Amino acid sequence: MKTPVIWFLRKFAVLILFIGIEGIAGAAPLHVLFIGNSYTGVNNLPNVFKEIVTSTGAQAPVVKAVTNGGFTLEKHLNAEKTLNLIDEGGWDVVMLQGQSEESALSETFTNLRRDFLHGAKELSGRIRTKSPKARIVFYQTWARHADYWVNPMRGESLGKNPIEMQALIRKWYERAASQVKDALIAPVGDAWELNYKDPKALRLHRNDHSHPEFNGTYLAGLVIYGTIFHPSKLSVPFRGTLSEPDAAYLQRIATKAIQHEGKESLSH
């Protein structure tokens, strides 16, 4: 449990980072690099993020991405395209998204834990070498849909249910981020969890119980936008293919997740 003093200091430090981001964004277009896999690539999350930012009246960010399917952070560390994009330098924000299971499986499998933490640390080090002022943001992923566990042969390596899986994801993303000075976490998975706990919950998963429908990608984009820009209130005109009520609902969920960031658990 974090003490009130530590929690306050952390929030103050994050506020300073946000002020720095807003200063950068006000002077020139924000340069953002997404490093991930299909959870970033499906529905083109980088472009959704760009549309969200632009619709609020801010300058359109310069966005690039590398989204090899199934890639872990360790694989990105050894991927020429990823390293070339990092080495371009001049990045204001770099998003790091691991493979959808590697954070949860880090609890049980020491080799995966080692690779997850090593990949996070080494990628961050290279980013900071090429872009010393870059804000490194870990894109926390989400648990499988509850229907994933209907099959009793699935086992429990990812947890017994979505809540357990999300708790493991949260834990290991926090561990990964703790290795990197001033790193932030975009609590996307926590926002998905809050949605499914709501009586008005929307189905965010595709039928594979893993990848996002557009509404899930939109929610991810909102959380990432809120984490980077820290607006006092999420009021985003862009809603893509979503109805106005669904977009407004997801903006409320994203706001709640961002406000919870830094607390020990959303499950209590």
Domain extents in the chain: 4-260
Residue 93: helix, strand or coil by DSSP?
Answer: strand
The pLDDT, as a whole number, for residue 28 is: 72
Tell me: pLDDT of 26 over 50: no
**Dihedral (Cα; 41, 44, 48, 51), 10-degree rounding:** 130
pLDDT exceeds 70 at position 83: yes
Residue 154 has pLDDT above 90, yes or no: no
Across the range 197-220, mean pLDDT stands at: 97
Concatenating the DSSP letter of every residue in 157-209 gives TT-SSHHHHHHHHHHHHHHHHHTSTT-EEE-HHHHHHHHHHSTT----B-TTS
Please state, as a whole number, how many other Cβ atoms lie within 10 Å of the Cβ of residue 138. Answer: 26
pLDDT of res. 260? 74
Give domain 4-260's CATH architecture. Answer: 3-Layer(aba) Sandwich (3.40)
Nearest CA to 176 among 144, 142, 137? Answer: 137
Structure tokens at 268: 């209590």
Q: What is the structure's pLDDT at 261? A: 62
Nearest one of 135, 123, 164, 117 to 224, comparing CA atoms: 135
pLDDT above 90: residue 218: yes
If you average pLDDT over residues 202-226, what whole number do you get? Answer: 98
125: exposed, middle or buried (Cβ count in 10 Å: 0-12, 13-18, 19+): middle
Q: Which residues pair with 139 in a beta bridge?
A: 186
- Angle, helices 214-229 vs 188-197, to 10°: value is 130
Between CA 100 and CA 60 the distance in angstroms is 29
